[in-house]
């Protein structure tokens, strides 16, 4: 036995394993294929049915980002919940007993996956734009906002997956809780003010559309802190206490 074998595997290695896990199962592989196909479909539809000012690189890319941001959170959720639904956690946490490191690796893996999805979207949008002969301009700020938009969604998925530890429950909650909160905020006047700071849908809309005000950035910060940060923290506490069976 060499001393090297007795060193703790580094986070990059753990993240690479988590990344591989997201694509090496039948369900995971097809989920990735579906995400790419949807991005391609949305570009084609936009070129066929959209107006002329939508047939440029930036609006095409924005559409791929929006459609992928619908499904990528599910991928983030499954990345976590499959450890319980498929009971692979028994092996994972036996090999990596410091459980928080597994989650850190999953967060990194999910982020890398998001960047890959964004890159794929960019390629698809570029092909569409080349066919349509549209405008190629794409601001760095715009690209940054798109990246952030997708990242928040995916990390929210990871957080919900960890907090609920069940695929079905986490997916339902991920989509229902924010909508429920928005409705509450609109119907109950007393909740109107706090709702602005905790409702992610409005600042997220601004994030993808651009021209965000300082208040909107601040609201995005507080909403993300709650729906991603707080939920993840709850999940980590649960993970620490739970028994892996």
Partner 1 sequence: MDAAAARDDLGHMIAVEHLSKRYGRLPAVNDISFSCEPGTVTGFLGPNGAGKSTTLRMICGLTTPNAGTATVLDTSYRSLPNPGREVGVLLDASAQHSGRCGREALTLSAKLLGVERGRVDELMEYVGLSRAAARKRVGTYSLGMRQRLGIAQALLGGPRVLILDEPANGLDPEGIAWMRRLLRDFADRAGTVLLSSHLLREVEAVADQLVVIGKGRIVAQGSKAELLAATGVVVRGLDPGALHQALADAGLTATPGSDGALLVEAEAEAVGRAAAAAGVVLTELRPADTGGLEELFLSLTASDREEALIS
Contact positions toward partner 1, by CB under 8 A? 1-9, 13-14, 16-17, 20-21, 24-28, 82, 86-91, 93-98, 241, 243-245
- Which of 136, 118, 117 minimizes the C-alpha distance to 126? 136
Residue 98 CA to residue 102 CA, distance in Å, equals 7
Phi-psi region of 87 (alpha: psi -120 to 50; beta: other; left: phi over 0): left
- Which of 117, 130, 115, 162 minimizes the C-alpha distance to 57? 130
DSSP 88: T
Residue 1 CA to residue 35 CA, distance in Å, equals 44
Residue 68 CA to residue 214 CA, distance in Å, equals 27
- Three-state DSSP state, 159: helix
Calculate helix-pair angle for 140-164, 167-187, nearest 10 degrees: 110
- Could you tell me how many residues make up the chain? 245
Residue 31 CA to residue 23 CA, distance in Å, equals 9
Nearer to partner 1 (CB atom), residue 86 or residue 213: 86
CB of 170 to partner 1, least distance (A): 17
Nearer to partner 1 (CB atom), residue 87 or residue 238: 87
Nearer to partner 1 (CB atom), residue 82 or residue 224: 82
Nearer to partner 1 (CB atom), residue 2 or residue 137: 2
Nearer to partner 1 (CB atom), residue 10 or residue 144: 10
Nearer to partner 1 (CB atom), residue 7 or residue 189: 7
CB of 18 to partner 1, least distance (A): 9
CB of 241 to partner 1, least distance (A): 8
CB of 102 to partner 1, least distance (A): 10
CB of 30 to partner 1, least distance (A): 10
CB of 13 to partner 1, least distance (A): 7
């Amino acid at each position: 036995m060499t001393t090297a074998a007795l060193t703790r595997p580094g986070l990059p290695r753990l993240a690479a394993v988590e990344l591989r896990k997201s694509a090496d199962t039948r369900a995971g592989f097809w989920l990735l294929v579906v995400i790419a196909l949807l991005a391609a479909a949305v570009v084609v539809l936009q070129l066929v049915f959209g107006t002329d000012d939508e047939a440029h690189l930036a609006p095409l890319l924005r559409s791929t980002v929006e459609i992928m941001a619908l499904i990528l959170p599910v991928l983030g959720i499954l990345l976590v919940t499959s450890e319980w639904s498929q009971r692979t956690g028994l092996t994972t946490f036996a090999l990596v007993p410091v459980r928080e490191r597994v989650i850190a690796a999953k967060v990194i893996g999910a982020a890398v996956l998001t960047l890959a999805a964004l890159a794929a979207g960019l390629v698809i949008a570029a092909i569409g734009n080349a066919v349509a002969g549209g405008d190629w301009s794409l601001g760095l700020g715009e690209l940054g906002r798109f990246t952030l938009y997708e990242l928040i969604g995916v990390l929210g998925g990871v957080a919900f997956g960890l907090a609920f530890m069940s695929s079905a429950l986490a997916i339902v909650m991920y989509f229902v809780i924010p909508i429920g909160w928005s409705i509450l905020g609109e119907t109950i006047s007393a909740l109107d003010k706090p709702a602005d700071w905790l409702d992610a849908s409005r600042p997220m809309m601004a994030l993808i559309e651009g021209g965000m005000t300082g208040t909107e950035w601040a609201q995005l910060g507080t909403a993300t802190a709650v729906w991603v940060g707080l939920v993840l923290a709850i999940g980590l506490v649960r993970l620490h206490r739970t028994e892996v069976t």
